[in-house]
Amino acid sequence: EAEVAQSPRYKITEKSQAVAFWCDPISGHATLYWYRQILGQGPELLVQFQDESVVDDSQLPKDRFSAERLKGVDSTLKIQPAELGDSAMYLCASSLAPGPYLAYFGPGTRLTVL
């Protein structure tokens, strides 16, 4: 069964360092999402891609976060510099298209900023 792949699964870093997360969506899925889930909260959208284009990054803290999906397949989310408040689970999801198409989530990257 096809799955969304993410790496690393866990990342511990010190504040002010740079971190990067990678996501490989299910083959053929044009829509890719990055969500952040803080403990005790629900996932919140950071950025949505349609193929290689950003569709929605209104909630992405652009002073420190960046995301790209250069060839419309895999994607990288970067944080520079990391802050203590960035400690969270970073979830990648993909779907065939936007809207009422099932979004499949990867296992997530658990980030701890010390």
Residue ranges in contact with other proteins by CB under 8 A: 4, 6, 9, 33, 40-45, 48, 56, 91, 93, 97-100, 102-108, 110
Q: State which H helix or E strand residue 52 sits in.
A: none
| Shortest distance (Å) from residue 58 CB to other proteins | 11
| Shortest distance (Å) from residue 56 CB to other proteins | 7
Q: Among residues 48 and 75, whose Cβ is nearest to other proteins?
A: 48
With beta carbons less than 8 A apart as the criterion, state whether 25 and 92 touch: yes
Nearest of 95, 42, 67, 98 to residue 106 by alpha carbon:
95
Q: Among residues 9 and 62, whose Cβ is nearest to other proteins?
A: 9
Q: Among residues 9 and 15, whose Cβ is nearest to other proteins?
A: 9
Q: Which residues contact 86 (CB under 8 A, 6 or more apart)?
A: 79, 111, 113
